[in-house]
Structure 1
């Protein structure tokens, strides 16, 4: 491995602190991903303290996830161009400052703006993780280290609402943002264990492609979050812009998304599976607290604690899948996870077994995420790393936004959680179909 000036680093320096560096990367990843869901439960409480239209509530979450998704691809490419460790540190520092503004925000407008800055900073941090891990580890150790990403992503996603609910009840919703400050500072202090890494050949930044993808995803995402009847034409306009983006990527000499990622059906299969699975997962985490607070009159702490069986199931299953199942059975473990998720989702309509159903959902989600992310990234080549990481994470965040809009909207329209749970079950089946090519994927 080379340092920032291209000189090789001694092997002893390269490996001496690799596990400490992995802990730094995973802590930053967890911190950034937690904030994608941390206000899902606390949104109604924030709305009562920062008066404004009810339409502000979904934007407390979406103002983070939409810039996060839009800029992830660019964030990955910036790491390729300027160095992944440098981009990582800049992103963490910006995230900490934005978190302070969120915690001190006197009004909804400033909070939403600061959340957007948080999302942009997270988009600079998250894509660097995979590249820096690949630079630190080789062989079986690399596979083991990469296998930790899925559990961290899944656990962060489900822990966010739980942590947000508990902090809001015990202290204030502002505390949900303040916890990022000591964590972020600790990550920056420990970032000395990281070694600079970038693409072997410094690529150019595709400015036109960046503007097209930001515009396209923004146009697609806005009507999903604010589904007023007059806004749906934006969805069609966004699809057109993204089509132009795809054409541009084929013609430009410095594409934002590496075309070689689509050379076989493995990576596109991973993108489709990620979109569908995380739409189901994030949508369920939105609907269950909504049902409790709006339909059953529960308080914010109860709503957050109700998701605890799901979090516990995901944690246990992630560990067991990574240590036992995936080494034995490989990517086929994904289907066992999706089957458990389907069973749990269908049982959620029965209130008397809701805790058990959520635990089964968590077991399924944890069993799925470890083999999924391992298989999705298994054959990504070094020059594709930034592009692949950014694109995979962007699709995950778009899936989450879609899930919140679709399942949450269905619940509000029908006033029946069972309708949303039925659609979630359909998304689970669709995800299983989408990842079939990934389960039998071979090297290039």
Structure 2
């Protein structure tokens, strides 16, 4: 599923100045647009590939389950924090220059990801990738407003829909194919190396085709605000990811409280800067618009739910059910396909006719799809096939497409035109923050459930396991010992900090008498799949709850989307 909508540039003065005068159309504007869309697709691919590639990465590099969270959180957190900063830097130093620097850096960071020899190096490279993506992406929409005359602006912005849809559909499929193909022994690394040809084409095209451009009024840079929001979010998210595997020591709660305090200090600092007429990272006066603030709340809650769900569904399909990366990607593909269908329906009919009611309808449809998935996973457990999952995945994707096709336009409906650039940038940053928080919180809950409910998963199949072991000649004492080892093996496997280490209890199971091996292995696999399925079902209930909260918050949104071009 797509990681983010395109982020409009964030300078209000620029928006007003550009709307006041119409400069001549840029001659190579359509070719330049293709370059900007190429950057969007490259960024989108890297935002989604980990939903499929993460198990292969951990299997190769080792580490705890939190590694899977960090290689996703690192990218989206850096993107969220630096998104508004990237737009400001383009206004100050030139959009083309920042676009090229971002594209070159993003491509090189992709090479670093592919060359990573440890999980720590990969996580650091993912942070770098996200930050450079935040430098590159905001320049595109500012350049579009600069290059295209008003009568063509809508068509130019409209090209983002198919591009994002293409990236959303291709991302998981490409990732699954590349991991399974293991081209030249590269394995998961090829999902990052594919950025080399794409990045090279974007860089060359940017140098040759993009025009120079800066904001008419050069904004000031808010270094203090950037440092405060970065520190606050880091203090908040780090313990959310690491707390589970450290058994939630006191310092995790201290850090989270400290993060909340720093974010409160950020708000106070920004308000003081506004009063003094100083540089601000965001215009907090926008939050006084209750309907816009409601839009931020809806975006944060909604994207928190769907980001965690998409990652965990990919993990469940591969680790829980044993699907190959390609099969997992194809199973999840209807989500992206129907998301595009929903967005097209919204743009063509639903948005203008029904407004906020269509957004509510999209949330209901998505909740229905998640409920279908939940019931299917809970009912079928180990015997689940791809085709059985498709209906729920498709319905959820359709609902999501309807919802996000309207969210930005409706959330910005009450914002003045001269504030729309800043408001859009903040909304997109909050969307990205929701992705980071969702992966941190939902994955932590999911992994915690895997460990805590493991004994119950073994107990559910204990009578069947005893019957099979008895038929294989196991004495009651052997059955008791093997069931105890199964419980401990499943618990330790779900909670272990190093994927390369085999727990002692699991080694004991592997050393049973040959005549008992088949029944023991079958019992372990059944309990393992049941454990993942139960954790997935409980997590999906949480997602439905977050969708219900989004539904309630959406009543505070404006009833109709904004009608101006270009937003």
Pair in the same fold by TM > 0.5: yes
Structure-2 separation of matches of 1:196 and 1:326: 35
1:389 shift after superposition: 4.2
| Whole-Å separation in 2 of the counterparts to 1:302 and 1:207 | 46
Give runs of aligned pairs for residues 25-424 of structure 1, distance below 5 A.
25-137=36-148, 139=150, 141-146=152-157, 149=160, 156=167, 160-171=171-182, 172-191=187-206, 192-227=208-243, 228=246, 229-230=248-249, 231-252=252-273, 253-349=278-374, 350-351=376-377, 353-377=388-412, 384=419, 387-414=422-449, 415=531, 416=534, 417-424=536-543
Q: What is the SS of the residue equivalent to 1:90?
A: helix
Quote the Cα distance in structure 2 between the aligned partners of 1:195 and 1:375: 32
- 8 Å Cα contact 2:55-2:315 kept in structure 1: no
Contact 2:334/2:390, CA 8 A, preserved across alignment = yes
In structure 2, C-alpha distance between the alignment counterparts of 1:237 and 1:59, rounded to whole Å: 20
String of CA shifts for 1:120-148, please: whole Å, max 9, x gaps: 10111222233333334455643454455
The answer on whether the counterparts of 1:80 and 1:386 sit within 8 Å (CA) in structure 2 is no
* CA-based RMSD: 3.0
Deviation readout 1:217-276 (Å, 9 max, x if unpaired)? 111121222234132321211111111111111111111102343342233222112112
Query: 1:32–1:378: structure 2 CA closer, same or farther, 3 Å change rule?
Result: farther
| CA–CA separation in structure 2 for the residues paired with 1:275 and 1:151 | 24
Alpha-carbon separation, structure 2, partners of 1:77 and 1:331: 32
Tell me how far 1:54 sits from its aligned partner: 4.4
Aligned to 2:188, what secondary structure does the other structure show?
Answer: coil
The alignment partner of 1:439 has SS state of coil
Distance 1:137 1:20 in 2: 12
Shift of 1:324: 3.3
Distance 1:335 1:151, change over 3 A: farther
After superposition, the Cα gap between the structure-2 partners of 1:283 and 1:148, relative to the gap in structure 1 and judged at 3 Å, is farther
SS in 1 for 2:404: helix
The alpha-carbon deviation at position 361 of structure 1 amounts to 0.8
Cα distance, 1:53 vs. partner?
4.3
- Please state whether the residue corresponding to 1:40 is helix, strand or coil: helix
State the alpha-carbon separation in 2 of the partners of residues 157 and 234 from structure 1. Answer: 35
Q: Secondary structure at the match of 1:342?
A: helix
Q: Is the 8 A contact 1:71 1:123 kept in 2?
A: yes
Q: Is the 8 Å Cα contact of residues 95 and 214 (structure 2) preserved in structure 1?
A: yes
Task: Tell me which residue corresponds to 2:552.
Answer: 433
1:408, distance to aligned residue in structure 2 (A): 2.4
SS of 2:279's equivalent in the other structure is coil
Q: Could you tell which deviates more after superposition, 211-220 or 262-271?
A: 262-271
With over 3 angstroms needed to count, the CA separation of the structure-2 counterparts of 1:330 and 1:442, relative to structure 1, is: closer
Change (3 A) 1:51 1:263: closer
Question: Counterparts of 1:84 and 1:389 in 2: how far apart (Å)?
Answer: 18
Checking the alignment, whether the CA contact within 8 Å between 2:413 and 2:558 is kept in structure 1 is no
* Contact 1:68 1:123 (8 Å CA) reproduced: yes
Gaps of 5+ in 1: none
Quickly say closer, same or farther: Cα 1:437–1:199, change in 2 above 3 A.
farther
Cα distance in 1 between the residues matched to 2:286 and 2:415: 8
**Structure 2 CA distance for partners of 1:27 and 1:322, relative to 1, 3 Å:** farther
CA contact (8 A) 2:351 2:561 kept: no
Task: Compute the displacement of 1:107 (Å).
Answer: 2.6
| Other structure's SS at 1:182 match | helix
Contact 2:410/2:559, CA 8 A, preserved across alignment: no
Q: 1:139 to 1:10 in 2, by over 3 A?
A: closer
- Contact kept? 1:147, 1:370, Cα under 8 Å: no
Contact 2:83 2:135 (8 Å CA) reproduced: yes
Unaligned runs of 5+ in 2: 1-13, 381-387, 450-530
The 1-side partners of 2:54 and 2:271 are apart by: 42
